[in-house]
């Protein structure tokens, strides 16, 4: 994994009016791991509901977890869209087909982004108009969340994104 940059180091770079791909990669990594934490919480609540028909989610935690997950994935997508994808990853998974009332093996495709040494996937529906190499992921491909104490704070992520939107910071690539 890429070296994690400290808040002090990030602020020193931001004070110069620049943002590096490494900082944006760490920001995307941090929101992606938070999204996965919420994905796991959503799954936990869903499974609890399915296993125990008498359990009632009185505070609508499953839905709230889903909303939080999507919020963080949207931030990751915003960061990824600042860069060009490098390849397409494909993955075969069993999915429930509602129309057939059975599981079926489907291929799922992801745009793969490399941002400052971090790698990210963005799901896509159609690859026919995308001219990138396709790599197959292992069937046992799995992703995990992380302890938020290991991640960039959301305050810093918002500072970076707001600074980019307001023109306070420019992305500095190694060749410029």
Q: In the structure, what pLDDT confidence band is assigned to residue 2 with cuts at 50, 70 and 90?
A: low
pLDDT 10s digits, 140-164: 888 999 999 999 999 999 999 999 9
How large is the angle between the packed helices 21-51 and 61-80, nearest 10 degrees?
160
User: Is 26 a member of any domain?
Assistant: yes
Confidence band, pLDDT 50/70/90 cuts, at residue 96: confident
Whether 109 maps to a domain, the answer reads yes
pLDDT at 176 over 80: no
Average pLDDT, the chain: 92
Q: What CA–CA distances, in Å, run from 57 to 38, 61, 69?
A: 16, 6, 18
Q: For residue 148, tell me if it sits in a domain.
A: no
pLDDT-derived band at 71, boundaries 50, 70, 90: very high
pTM: 0.90
> Six-digit token pair at 35?
């999204």
Domain that holds residue 45: 9-142+154-171
55 located within any domain = yes
| Residue-level pLDDT at 3 | 66
Q: Band of the pLDDT at 69, cuts 50, 70, 90?
A: very high
Q: Which residues in the chain belong to E strands, given as ranges? A: 18-19, 87-97, 102-115, 118-124, 134-136, 170-171
pLDDT tens readout for residues 107-125: 899 999 999 999 999 999 8
- Domain-embedded: residue 94: yes
């Amino acid at each position: 994994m890429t070296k994690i940059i400290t808040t002090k180091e990030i602020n020193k770079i931001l004070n110069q009016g620049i943002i590096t791909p490494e900082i944006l990669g760490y920001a995307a990594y941090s929101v992606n791991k938070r999204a996965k934490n919420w994905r796991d919480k959503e799954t936990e609540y869903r499974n609890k509901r399915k296993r125990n028909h008498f359990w009632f989610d009185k505070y609508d935690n499953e839905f709230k977890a889903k909303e939080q997950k999507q919020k963080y994935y949207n931030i990751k997508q915003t960061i990824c869209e600042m860069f060009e994808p490098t390849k397409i990853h494909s993955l075969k998974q069993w999915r429930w087909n509602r129309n057939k009332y059975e599981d079926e093996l489907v291929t799922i495709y992801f745009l793969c982004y490399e941002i400052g040494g971090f790698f990210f996937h963005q799901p896509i529906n159609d690859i026919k108009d995308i001219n990138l190499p396709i790599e197959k992921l292992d069937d046992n491909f799995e992703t995990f969340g992380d302890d938020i104490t290991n991640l960039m704070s959301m305050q810093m992520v918002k500072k970076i994104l707001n600074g980019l939107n307001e023109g306070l910071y420019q992305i500095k690539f190694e060749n410029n």
